[in-house]
Amino acid sequence: MTDLNIMIVGVGGQGTLLASRLLGNVAMKQGFDVKVSEVHGMSQRGGSVVTYVKMGEKVYSPIIEKGEADYLLAFENLEALRWIDYLKNGGTLVLNDQQIDPMPVIIGKAKYPEKIIERLREGGVRMDVIDALQIAKECGNIKSVNIVLLGVLAKTSNIAKEVWLEAMREVIPQKILDVNLRAFDAGYNGTKDTSKA
Amino acid sequence: MKKLMLGNEAVARGAYEAGVRVAAAYPGTPSTEITENIAKYDEMYSEWSPNEKVALEVAIGASVAGARAICSMKHVGLNVAADPLFTVSYTGVNGGLVIMVADDPGMHSSQNEQDSRFYARASKVPMLEPSNSQECKDFVKAAFDISERFDCPVIVRLSTRIAHSQSIVEINKRQNDELKPYVKDPAKYVMMPAMARARHLAVEKRMAELKAFAEETPVNTIEWGSTDIGVITSGISYQYAREAFGNVSYLKLGMVYPLPDKLITEFAAKVGTLYVIEELEPFFENQIRKMGIKVIGKDILPVTGEYSASLLRQKIFNEAFEKSYDVDVQSPVRPPVMCPGCPHRGTFHVLKKLKLTVTGDIGCYTLGALSPTESMDTCICMGASIGMAHGMEKARGREFGKKTVAILGDSTFIHSGITGLIDIVYNKGCSTVIILDNSITGMTGHQQNPTTGFTIKGEPVKQVDLALLAKAVGIDRVRVVDPFEIKEFERIVKEETEADEPSLIIAQRPCALLKNVRYEGPRMINENCKKCRSCLRIGCPAIVDKGDKIMINSALCVGCKLCTKLCSFNAIVKAGGKND
């Protein structure tokens, strides 16, 4: 197989860790070597968080570097912008169209950049944009944003849907499994391609 | 069976498979999950100790009593545990003793980026360093064998990227969990000068044996590729080097102390250009240069921060980085913040208002140093807030002391604040100490501690009574207050800083992320708002300044209502379900 690098970026508390663990599980089921690298502690407190998932024949460094990500899974617009350099040419940005103001913006010391999606598109970024928060709400759990986005990613990836579902059944606790399976399907079926600028 | 595991989880598995019976630790990123995972196994006793020194002493006791024991901490925790470390090196062990230490290059969650490898050399204790989760498990098991074979504690060093990366691990069965007999042996375990002199000789003999062992141990490996370039490396640096250099020859040191001189010399002789790739200090490099071997290392590579494959490519092969996309927009930074509903927000609001000098400490509340509260003047190490407030008063006099407070969390106070408090009483200080008691160890992800009333396994237990403890050490002025009652809190802080004797204020309100903490749900700002921006002063991430209006983000707001106390216009009210 060819190596696959997926980067997950967002704001602490958005559920990026569960998404990366699910991805790790999916990779293992495929028989790939895999590494998932996360950050805990200080970096989680509502700060910018980033998780790396690398799979392939043999994975050495757990870190994805600039220009190396096949997929950038962004849970928030500003974070997509911040990490866009990590996406490789021809890679895909899967973006949850949501704005969470960082503290410098909240207290008026900085401005939240305008028209992020348009500017990314003008920069030639191929992307799938989705309002995962709204979809998660409709599926019954506002916290399922991460699973909606995985659904979008699953659709664009070459990995069979059943592998994803199996990984979810193993990793997600029984009592919240149904709502998450719905969220996954909504992401899988719901995205429209907005890459053609 | 194969499983995807965090490095820390694999360490816990290694401890289980190695037959460990006792595990003790104080939480500290990036080491915390080791002991959290050990606690999931019923075969091992585990505990959160009050600090790393006590944790290591518990583990030493267990080892002397004949059990395999493990003790885990972050790099700065080893400073706290250094006292027992240097002497348990002399006594040696009975049951195997392994000390896990997790360094934090790049300081993701730490106050410094010290290199723990120097502790191995200074205390004459062997040190191993794994480079992935499988090795985390294997090296912990190997460490126990080395510990018992050479009669010494063994340190296993992790770094953040090893501790917090998941990779595939093969699971095995538990072995070696029988207790060894306990035999009284004062010559070995009572370190008075006469005994210690003899033991120091034993340590030197052991080091010579370990040096010979390093030449043959399978944890040191050579991977032959092109011999034009050779790389000596270890741990996470090996992974970066492997990606940056590709098919060259590698000497991967699984045992980072003592070094295998012969193996290194032979490897060096067979390769062309020799690189030493190690994050932080030139620990290998200086030793290898001393052997008369020419290497390239810190002359081109930094001693600060984390490495990466691309950093190596840039520094070594002068590869330039080409931007994949041209989206030239400045992204405002997103620093970590105190959570919505955080009890510390009330405290910092008052401290800022009173313009106090605040000696701070290690915990979530260190974030109070950042904008917009900006009310912390110092942060050095666990417990330092109290001693420093006392020192400030002694340096600048009582009047300065009246404008100074020390703040620290409940867990940090237990860790190393109590002795500072005693110092203030004993040496006639008048400092005011505020314990931010949020009923949990917060920053490291909610661990129990002696003030919470629960053990690591969630069993109910007696709580330390902080007020009674303060009274017992001689603090007569002890006040307990809710930091969200900001008027009362302000009054109390004023009274106590004015008082000509030491005071303790216990600011009590539980962490908003605790399961049993339930607020009434999101607020909203109505048409009464005069845009005075008072509510923005507390730096709540849920309150947003949109320029023409102030809004509350209903997805973030928990309904703690601290902001309502700052609003003079009754403009902040319960969100009436309109958003749902």
Residues of chain A scoring pLDDT < 70: 1, 40-44, 191-197
β-pairing, B22-25 vs B69-74, is: parallel
CATH number of B2-216: 3.40.50.970
Asked if A84's CB is within 8 angstroms of B539's CB, the reply is no
- Cα A15 to the center of its chain, rounded Å: 10
Q: How far is B418 from chain A (nearest CA, A)?
A: 25
| B237: three-class secondary structure by DSSP | helix
Minimal Cβ distance to B541: which of A39, A106, A113: A106
- Cα pseudo-dihedral A93, A99, A102, A108, rounded to 10: 130
Minimal Cβ distance to A48: which of B240, B323, B334: B334
Minimal Cβ distance to A106: which of B29, B330, B545: B545
Q: How far is B190 from chain A (nearest CA, A)?
A: 40
Q: Which one-letter amino acid corresponds to residue B414?
A: I
Domains of chain B by residue range: 2-216, 220-317, 344-508, 523-574
- What is the ipTM score, two decimals? 0.93
Residue of chain B whose alpha carbon sits nearest to that of A32:
B168
Give the whole-angstrom CA distance, residue B66 versus residue A10.
Answer: 48
If you compute the radius of gyration of chain A from its CA atoms, what whole number of angstroms results? 16
- Cα B283 to the center of its chain, rounded Å: 22
β-pairing, A69-74 vs A87-96, is: parallel
User: Which among A88, A101, A112, A117 is the top mutation candidate for probing chain B, defined by the most B β-carbons within 10 Å of its own β-carbon?
Assistant: A101
Specify the pLDDT at position B576: 74
Domains of chain A by residue range: 4-190
Give the whole-angstrom CA distance, residue B278 versus residue B301.
Answer: 9
Q: Quick check: A119 and A85 in contact, CB under 8 A?
A: no
Q: How many CB atoms lie within 10 A of CB B519?
A: 14
Tokens of B518: 């339930």
Asked if A28's CB is within 8 angstroms of B168's CB, the reply is yes
Beta carbon pairs, A and B, within 8 Å = 190
Residue of chain A whose alpha carbon sits nearest to that of B244:
A61
User: Which among B31, B167, B446 is the top mutation candidate for probing chain A, defined by the most A β-carbons within 10 Å of its own β-carbon?
Assistant: B167
Assigned fold of B220-317: Rossmann fold (3.40.50)
* Residues 119-148 of chain B whose Cβ lies under 8 A from any Cβ of chain A: 132
Specify the pLDDT at position B296: 98
Specify the pLDDT at position A41: 64
* Residues 436-495 of chain B whose Cβ lies under 8 A from any Cβ of chain A: 443-445
Hunting for tokens 């141990």 — which residue is that?
A: B217
Count of alpha carbons within 13 angstroms of residue B354, beta-carbon side = 26
Q: Quick check: A72 and A16 in contact, CB under 8 A?
A: no
- Phi/psi region, residue B35 (left: phi>0; alpha: psi -120 to 50; beta: rest), is alpha
Euclidean distance between the first and final Cα of chain A, in Å? 31
Listed in sequence order, the residues at least 6 apart from B315 whose beta carbon sits closer than 8 Å to its beta carbon are B300, B301
Say whether residue B1 is in contact with chain A using an 8 A CB cutoff.
Answer: no
Asked if B309's CB is within 8 angstroms of A63's CB, the reply is yes
**Helices (H) and strands (E) in chain B — how many of each?**
21, 22
Q: Which one-letter amino acid corresponds to residue B52?
A: E
User: Which among A42, A55, A65, A117 is the top mutation candidate for probing chain B, defined by the most B β-carbons within 10 Å of its own β-carbon?
Assistant: A42
Count of alpha carbons within 13 angstroms of residue B390, beta-carbon side = 21
- Domain B344-508 in CATH 3.40.50.261: no
CA angle B235, B236, B239 (to 5 degrees): 110
Specify the pLDDT at position B324: 79
* Residues 336-365 of chain B whose Cβ lies under 8 A from any Cβ of chain A: 336-339, 364
Q: How far is B500 from chain A (nearest CA, A)?
A: 37
Asked if A125's CB is within 8 angstroms of B334's CB, the reply is no
Asked if B243's CB is within 8 angstroms of A61's CB, the reply is yes
pLDDT per residue, tens digit, chain B (580 aa), is 999 999 999 999 999 999 999 999 999 999 999 999 999 999 999 999 999 999 999 999 999 999 999 999 999 999 999 999 999 999 999 999 999 999 999 999 999 999 999 999 999 999 999 999 999 999 999 999 999 999 999 999 999 999 999 999 999 999 988 999 999 999 999 999 999 999 999 999 999 999 999 999 999 999 999 999 999 999 999 999 999 999 999 999 999 999 999 999 999 999 999 999 999 999 999 999 999 999 999 999 999 999 999 999 999 999 887 777 877 778 999 988 999 999 999 999 999 999 999 999 999 999 999 988 899 999 999 999 999 999 999 999 999 999 999 999 999 999 999 999 999 999 999 999 999 999 999 989 899 999 999 999 999 999 999 999 999 999 999 999 999 999 999 999 999 999 999 999 999 999 999 989 999 999 999 999 999 999 998 999 999 888 889 999 888 899 999 999 999 999 999 997 543 3
Asked if A100's CB is within 8 angstroms of B132's CB, the reply is no
In this structure, which CATH number among 3.40.50.620, 3.40.50.11720, 3.40.50.720, 3.30.70.20 belongs to the domain B523-574? Answer: 3.30.70.20
Hunting for tokens 């504690």 — which residue is that?
A: B153
Q: Quick check: A93 and A125 in contact, CB under 8 A?
A: yes
Hunting for tokens 């990836």 — which residue is that?
A: A157
Tokens of A15: 């559920």
Q: Quick check: B343 and B436 in contact, CB under 8 A?
A: yes
Minimal Cβ distance to B109: which of A43, A67, A105: A43
Q: Quick check: B436 and B505 in contact, CB under 8 A?
A: no
Minimal Cβ distance to A104: which of B32, B333, B556: B333
Asked if A48's CB is within 8 angstroms of B333's CB, the reply is yes
Listed in sequence order, the residues at least 6 apart from B368 whose beta carbon sits closer than 8 Å to its beta carbon are B338, B344, B347, B348, B351, B358, B360, B374, B375, B376, B407
Give the whole-angstrom CA distance, residue B508 versus residue B210.
Answer: 52
Listed in sequence order, the residues at least 6 apart from B8 whose beta carbon sits closer than 8 Å to its beta carbon are B30, B31, B32, B33, B34, B37, B102, B136, B158, B163, B164
The answer to whether B2-216 and B344-508 have equal CATH topology is yes
Asked if A34's CB is within 8 angstroms of B108's CB, the reply is no
Tokens of B148: 């018992």
* Residues 543-572 of chain B whose Cβ lies under 8 A from any Cβ of chain A: 543-545, 553, 555-556
Residues of B in contact with A126 (CB under 8 A): none
Listed in sequence order, the residues at least 6 apart from A41 whose beta carbon sits closer than 8 Å to its beta carbon are B29, B30, B108, B109, B443, B444, B445
Q: How many CB atoms lie within 10 A of CB B472?
A: 10
Hunting for tokens 């190997």 — which residue is that?
A: B142
Burial of B130 (0-12, 13-18, 19+ CB in 10 A): buried
Nearest CA-CA partner of B537 in B372, B341, B339: B372
Beta bridge partners of A8: A51, A73
- Domain A4-190 in CATH 3.40.920.10: yes
Specify the pLDDT at position A43: 59
- Cα B507 to the center of its chain, rounded Å: 24
Minimal Cβ distance to B443: which of A42, A62, A120: A42
